[in-house]
Structure 1
Amino acid sequence: MRIRTDGEYDWRTDLYDETAERFGVGTKSGGIDAACEFSTQMLRNLERAAEHPDMTEDLAELLSTSNVTLEHRTVTGLEID
């Protein structure tokens, strides 16, 4: 697989370097692998967190990113027959 990093895609070079550094790996491909593994696990964890009884709207907003929005709403009601 080839990923373009020239021309309009030159911003990817810095992104991939930063990702590799963040995950403590020595190569761009290692950084991409680590980021993909992290994303897969984190998305699963966020789905579970959204249903956790301690979740709040503020925490859901804090855990959201530009690519992933976590929403949590507390619904209460009273019904009198």
Structure 2
Amino acid sequence: MRINTDGKKEFREDLYDDAADVFGENTRVGGIDRACRHAYQDAKAKKQALEWIEKHLAPEQAAELCEILSTREMDMKIETTTSLHTD
């Protein structure tokens, strides 16, 4: 697979080098591979965390924690609804 790193996509070189560094890989391919596997596992873990957060924290705390865990690539939100019923 070839990935364009020319012109406006030149930033990708640093991005791929950073991914390799974060995961202790010697190659960009190794870094990209590990980053992809991490992203999948991270999304799955965050979904489980959201379920726990929703059950155990007050709405304000849940919203704050979601903001902390969010990234540009993965925005986390918990929506709460309330209703009032009168007879």
Compute the TM-score of the two structures, normalised by the length of structure 2. Answer: 0.81
1:47 deviates by: 1.1
Q: Which consecutive unaligned segments of at least 5 residues does structure 2 have?
A: none
**The structure with more helix, counted as a fraction of residues:** 2
The count of aligned residue pairs is: 81
Deviations 1:3-47 (A, max 9, x none): 011222110000000110011111000000000000000011111
- Superposition RMSD in Å: 1.6
Q: Which consecutive unaligned segments of at least 5 residues does structure 1 have?
A: none
Compute the TM-score of the two structures, normalised by the length of structure 1. Answer: 0.87
1:2 partnered with 2:6: no
Flag as ranges the 4+ runs of structure 1 deviating above 2 A.
73-81
1:22 partnered with 2:22: yes
Identity of aligned residues (%): 41
